[in-house]
Amino acid sequence: MKKNAFYAQSGGVTSVINATASALILESKKYKSKIGKVYAGKNGILGALREDLIDTSKENISAIKGLRETPGGVFGSCRFKLKNLEDNKEEYKRLVEVFKAHNIGYFFYNGGNDSADTAYKVSKISNAMGYPINCIAIPKTVDNDLAVTDCCPGFGSAAKYIATSVMEASLDVASMSETSTKVFILEVMGRHAGWMAAAGSLAKIDKKDAPHITLFPEIVFDEKKFLLEIKKTVNKEGYCVIVASEGVRNKKGKFLAESNLKDAFGHSQLGGVAPFLSNLINAKLKLKNHWAVSDYLQRSARHIASKTDLAHAEAVGSHAVRYAVRGLNGVMPVIKRGDGKKYSWKVEPAPLSKIANVEKKLPKSFITKDGFGVTNKAIEYLRPLIVGEAFPKFKNGVPVPTKLKLKMVEKKLKKWTG
């Protein structure tokens, strides 16, 4: 029987997550005997719970195709984690009510670790609540910390942005270092895994090039060693460029920049490691320094997206549809790297039981012995992911984003009060 599909975006968005949505919607049109309409959840899983469904069939094909060049999450995202079925059965009852009311038999959830966990829980509805559903999680995260998959769509473009920013900023600092700034700090995302920080080293052409120091969540911060390395670098090169992960911790296991706030997933909100390091350098070394936080810029920079990353993002979207119509449930389309020196890849299904709540950290073999840089092995892994340019269309000097009609589906149920 033909069933409708539900697609939603979750967690922090990326410069290519809309490309995944575009590919998924277009691929669904190839299976008209099995998939009716694709409904997008407004603001992630909340769209399903609130019955806030967007009818993508009301959009022009040209607009859907244009999504591949538009950053952000066009349907809205959220940070909302479903509890276990036994802890809050009402949420799952509500999902089933909405799915039944709108003849939804396919569930696609596009996100990172917490989103994979949500999708894994939804995939169990078939057995636990007797409602047939094919649930596919789709990978997305600039943190690159999902297990099983070789890399995560969104990471390659963010890595390209970071490497480019480090290179360009270092040339600026070098030109001013004689009489002005001696140290520049770029803070990047990465709460527990140092993939984003490691990407900064792709800026290096020669060994002496920036970044001179990289701080990873995987390496305990040693203040004395850090300050000595800065002093040594400034004396030798005249300046020092630092890439610092937001998740750097001290010897007590505390984030250097931890605030007392928590986000919707229960994670500690970080207040900024760059200003912390800047204050430390001011107090201990008396060196003029500047800092920047790449923040949303690193994950939304579609103007400098990686062509490889864009291809990954589209492939996981189309494969998700193929897996669903084949009857697969509780899986994720993951990227598998091929053997050999020339970069190659393919997409395969992997069980969510091996992905949900598992965090892939930067391997020790990717970090130099002094803890301040990356090895050739890391560069060999990272380099192919940023290769190729996929520039969007420009008008009047700026990129042209695609805007959808976002027509809402008429509600059939009572308002959700959860």
pLDDT digits (tens, 9 = 90+) for 367-377: 999 999 999 99
Residue 261's pLDDT is what?
A: 46
- Angle at Cα 155 formed by Cα 61 and Cα 364, nearest 5°? 160
Integer distance in angstroms from the first to the last C-alpha of the chain?
Answer: 31
Per-residue pLDDT of 283-315, as tens digits, reads 999 999 999 999 999 999 999 999 999 999 999
Mean local confidence (pLDDT), 151-167 = 98
How many CB atoms lie under 10 A from the CB of residue 122?
A: 25
Q: Which helix (H) or strand (E) holds 259?
A: strand 258-262
Task: Indicate if 155-302 has the same CATH topology as 3-142+304-358+388-399.
Answer: yes
Question: Residue 26 phi/psi, 5° resolution?
Answer: -65, -40
Alpha helices in 177-306 (DSSP H): 195-199, 223-237, 273-284, 295-300
Q: pLDDT value at position 260?
A: 46
* Interatomic CA distance for residues 12 and 199, integer angstroms: 19
The pLDDT score that the predictor gives to residue 84 is: 86
- Mean pLDDT over 14-21 rounds to 98
Read off the amino acid at residue 18: N
Candidate list 52, 114, 117, 143, residue with the active-site label: 143
Q: Is 117 a catalytic residue?
A: no
Which residues sit opposite 107 in a β-bridge? 6, 135
Neighbours of 206 (CB within 10 A): 5
**pTM of this structure:** 0.95
The kind and range of the H/E element at 310 are: helix 307-325
Give the least confident one: 11-25, 117-131, 297-311, 391-405: 117-131
Percentage of the chain beyond pLDDT 90 is: 89
Give the mean pLDDT of the chain: 95
Q: What class is the 155-302 domain?
A: alpha beta
For the record, the structure tokens of 290 come out as 């500047």
Write out pLDDT tens, residues 101-134: 999 999 999 999 889 999 999 999 988 899 999 9
| Domain boundaries of the chain, sorted by first residue | 3-142+304-358+388-399, 155-302
Percentage of residues of the chain with pLDDT beyond 70: 97
Torsion sign over Cα 144, 146, 151, 154: negative
Where are the alpha helices (H) located in 107-154, listed in sequence order?
113-123, 125-129
152 phi and psi angles, rounded to 5 deg: -115, 130
Q: What CATH number belongs to 3-142+304-358+388-399?
A: 3.40.50.450
Angle value at C-alpha 137, between 24 and 96, nearest 5 degrees: 95
Beta carbons within 8 Å of 415's beta carbon, 6+ residues apart:
50
Q: What is the DSSP letter of 145?
A: -
Amino acid type, 55: D
Distance CA 335, CA 311 (A): 11
What are the tokens at 204? 């290096």
